[in-house]
Structure 1
């Protein structure tokens, strides 16, 4: 069920006119998955002196990630997966 609510948030964020979300990025850790929204860095809409607040990351378990991944494919939402090893 949580994957459905996350998907709804992603689709709403993609429709926004004040910023351009280009994709979703998943940072996969052994015990959790962190989803970040990725925006177009060259965007110049709005007041240049006011810092834009992007959407906060979503933290989920691997089961939720698997369900969400299928829904992202179905809705043609671009995403990438990262499995960085930090020392």
Structure 2
């Protein structure tokens, strides 16, 4: 097991790229000349940030529901779920 140099996620030493952020694994059995330049790699950081923002929004909706702001809690909860799903699907689509 090795750590991703971008996000510090644990990955197999045989992996070509990090499963979390998509950053290419250095020395993963591919000669350095065959690795894609970083300019061609799709960064998954925006999608990871969208998922985190979605989770924070969902937590905020839960707090609003506990404070008896039911109407706003519902709207914020739906927005948080949508944001999380967009981040999840965007990362999946670009992997």
- State TM-score, norm by structure 2: 0.24
With a CA cutoff of 8 Å and minimum separation of 6, indicate the structure with the bigger relative contact order.
1
- Is the radius of gyration larger for structure 1 or structure 2? 2
Larger fraction in strand: 1
